[in-house]
Amino acid sequence: MLVATRLATFDLRRYLIGALLWLPVHVIPLAGGLVLQQVFDRISGHRPAALEATLWLCAAFAGVELVRGVVIVVAWTYGVYWWNAAATLLRANVLRSVLTARGPAAARLPHSSGEGVARLRDDVADAVDFTDESVSLVGTTLFAAVALPIMASIDALITLVLVLPMLAAGVLSRSMHRVVARLHRRARRLGAAVTAYVGEVFGGVLALKTAGAELAALQRLREHNRRRRDAAVRDRMATDLLDAATITTVELSTGLVLLLAAPAMRGGDFTVGDLALFTSYLGWLTALPRSIGTTLYRLPQAAVATERLTALMAPHEDAGTLSRGADVWLHHDPPPAAPPPPHPGPLRVLEARGLTVRGALHGVDLRLERGSFTVITGAVGAGKSTLVRALLGLLPLDEGTIAWNGAPVADPGTFLVPGRTAYAGQVPRLFSASLRENLLLGRPASDDDARRALELAVFEQDLAEMPDGLGTVVGPRGVRLSGGQVQRATAARALVREPDLLVVDDLSSALDVETERLLWERIAGRGPETVLVVSHRQAALERADQVIVLDRGRVAGRGRLDELLDGCPEMRRLWHAELIAELITQEEQTGA
């Protein structure tokens, strides 16, 4: 209920105007019923019938319906703005919390991006629809509050018989509250699982084809769909049962009105016009139990939606934060962005002590001085990526401290961001947009800045061969680029932010030896002064001022490459294995 109240009041003016537009849609039929009563009483002879007056009454009825139709069009046109603004508000608050709240976002996000998208789509719609339904509930209640006294003044018994089945439908809707919530929660969860799995299949097409696992993946999708279908059918059956109960009350009420009206009409106490009025009002009165029933089953659905959306947010944020008012711009440009906070001063030293991530990292110390080129190396599973992700706040630390220029960093996830640091991850993430958009991601930088970053990333020749240049669309996940181009574009995206500290996680695996050598040469010569690299490649290790060797989550050696080759057995093993691997790669590339 708190979310519904906040959504109604965050833009109260538009919500009230929309409500005032919709209320006449429910109230205007009151006039239509009264006009019909006069028309049929004159036709049946219960009132003096003048042809001219009867025609004017028919014209009045047509005018009432025409006005109602115009109001519906205007209300729909205006109401769409509020609905979209309310949905945007919820999505913006969830994304703000994910992107800026303290602590790693990965700990709050669902297991896949597809499920997160499903929540932002379906659960947001459920929450907004519940608030939107309140307008219909008020309108139908207002209609009933006026119509029932009119009907009772004509025949109280028939009116009472008309109301009782509707009350029964409302009681049934209330009794099924928990069942609807349980079924809807399961349907939403399994529906999100299908969305997530489809996204994973598209993202791993090459892996599936290489492994010959297409049929297995298809079978898995069918199983997900079967469970989703069964859950959706049960969820729909519950809501349809409530709708069926409401429809049954309409039919039952209509039958009872006809049974009771027949003897009353024979006695002259109930006219044809009264029957026309009752019949006209009956259809609109049934909207009240239907609206009550809809509100009652939307209430648990909205509760489920609120629960699933707040689960994406920081632990200290709740439903109040989810629906907190904020500016939303749909028809005009937002105001200029606030200037970035003042830079805390250039990096002199970044120091981490005792970094521990349960099961992956054990008491690792790290010291990065300004102007240094540090390489973290180790075997597969040694904890290299875990170390840099924990350092940047992308993974939660169980123990350890981080300090920037001697000052403690309480939340690295919100502190070690551009322009203090920039991160080029192990798995490149490109969007189906232009190369320019992929590099800048909203950063107010010029094309010259983008080209400079691409040159540092050894991408200038590739750019020259693209007819659309920076406007080239790279396709989903950069599918129109080669593996090496994707990696270098990801490096350029980090470089264009001109950070004090550049963090690169094994980004040169798809590069040939010469391109990789040139990449590190340019970054070391004209790029950020301080660089932290995860790599096992010879070109990076030979350039390093400091090499940190990890073995099963612990530091096995630290120093320059020549020192480690003399005194660290693990480094010697890794170095010899890499020399052999690079020799084989060179032979394959030259065709020897």
Residue 280: CATH number of its domain: 1.20.1560.10
pLDDT tier, 50 (very low <50, low <70, confident <90, very high otherwise):
low
**Residue that wins the pLDDT comparison between 542 and 203:** 542
End-of-domain residue from the set 272, 303, 322: 322
| Cα of 244 vs its chain's centroid, Å | 33
Token representation of residue 55:
């025609």
Phi, psi of 89 (to 5 degrees): -60, -50
How much of the chain, in percent, has pLDDT values that exceed 70?
A: 83
311 with 190, same domain?
yes
Residue 344 — very low, low, confident or very high, per pLDDT cuts 50/70/90? Answer: low
Pick the residue with more confidence: 197 or 292?
197
Percent of the chain residues topping a pLDDT of 90 = 23
The predicted pLDDT at position 399 comes to: 92
Strands 546-551 and 554-559: antiparallel
**CA atoms within a 13 Å half-sphere pointing along the CA-CB vector of 18:** 23
Co-location of 265 and 363 in the same domain: no
Place of tokens 């190369």: 435
Q: How far apart are CA 422 and CA 498, in angstroms?
A: 8
* Rg over CA atoms, the chain: 34
449 within domain boundaries: yes
Q: What is the pLDDT of residue 250?
A: 67
The DSSP-derived string for 83-144 is HHHHHHHHHHHHHHHHHHSSS-GGGTS-SSHHHHHHIIIIIHHHHHHHHHHHHHHHHHHHHH
- In a domain, residue 69? The reply is yes
Can you tell me the mean pLDDT for 99-125? 70
Q: What is the CATH number of the domain that holds 401?
A: 3.40.50.300
Domain that holds residue 438: 349-590
- 8 Å CB contact between 44 and 273: yes
Residue 341 in domain: no
* Residue 419: cis peptide before it, omega within 30 degrees of 0: yes
Does one domain contain both 304 and 366? Answer: no
Q: State mean pLDDT over 25-39.
A: 81
8 Å CB contact between 548 and 375: yes
Cα–Cα dist 421/30, whole Å: 66
- Regarding whether 307 and 367 lie in a shared domain, the answer is no
CA 87 to chain centre: 10
156 in the same domain as 264: yes
Tell me: do 430 and 491 sit in the same domain: yes
Has residue 591 got a pLDDT over 60? no
Q: 259 pLDDT exceeds 60?
A: yes
In the structure encoding, which two tokens stand for residue 580, read together? 């052999």
**Nearest CA to 503 among 525, 458, 528, 533?**
533
pLDDT tens digits, residue range 353-390? 999 998 889 999 999 999 999 999 999 889 999 999 99
The encoded tokens of residue 309 equal 């959306």
Give yes or no for a contact between 7 and 302, defined as CB atoms under 8 angstroms apart: no
**pLDDT tops 50 at residue 61:** yes
Considering the domain architecture, whether residues 89 and 170 belong to the same structural domain is answered as: yes
Q: What stretch of H or E contains 404?
A: strand 399-404
Q: How far apart are CA 453 and CA 276, in angstroms?
A: 77
Q: For residue 330, is it within any domain?
A: no
What is the C-alpha to C-alpha distance for residues 114 and 191, in angstroms, rounded to an integer? 10
474 plus 369 within the same structural domain: yes
Burial of 44 (0-12, 13-18, 19+ CB in 10 A): middle
What amino acid is encoded at 528 in this protein?
P
Q: Which pLDDT belongs to residue 166?
A: 67
Indicate if 261 and 385 belong to the same structural domain: no
Query: Considering the chain, what is the average pLDDT of its residues?
Result: 81
Q: Locate 239 and state its tokens.
A: 């809501």
- Distances, alpha carbon 465 to alpha carbons 220, 275, 456, 556, in Å: 42, 80, 17, 45
Domain membership of residue 178 (yes or no) is yes
Q: Assess whether 147 and 184 both reside in one domain.
A: yes
Confidence category of residue 318, pLDDT binned at 50, 70, 90: confident
Place of tokens 């069942």: 179
Same domain, 303 and 395: no
Q: Which residues contact 403 (CB under 8 A, 6 or more apart)?
A: 350, 351, 352, 409
Q: Is the pLDDT of residue 592 over 50?
A: no
Q: Are 319 and 340 in contact (CB under 8 A)?
A: no
Domain boundary, last residue among 276, 305, 322: 322
- Maximum distance among all Cα pairs of the chain, rounded to whole angstroms: 117
Task: Between 326 and 544, name the one with better pLDDT.
Answer: 544
Q: Which of 490, 348, 499 is nearest to 421 (CA)?
A: 499
Decide if 328 is inside a domain: no
Chain centroid to Cα 47, Å, comes to 62
How far apart are the C-alpha atoms of 379 and 536, rounded to whole Å? 8
Residue 267: Cβ-neighbour burial (10 angstroms; 0-12, 13-18, 19+): exposed
- Domain assignment present for 305: yes
Report the domain count for the chain. 2
Let me know whether 210 and 281 are in one domain: yes
pLDDT of residue 366: 94
CA distance 534 to 119: 35
Q: Is the pLDDT of residue 105 over 60?
A: no
Answer whether residue 337 is part of any domain: no
pLDDT at 585: 65
Task: Report the number of secondary-structure helices (H) and strands (E) in the chain.
Answer: 22, 10
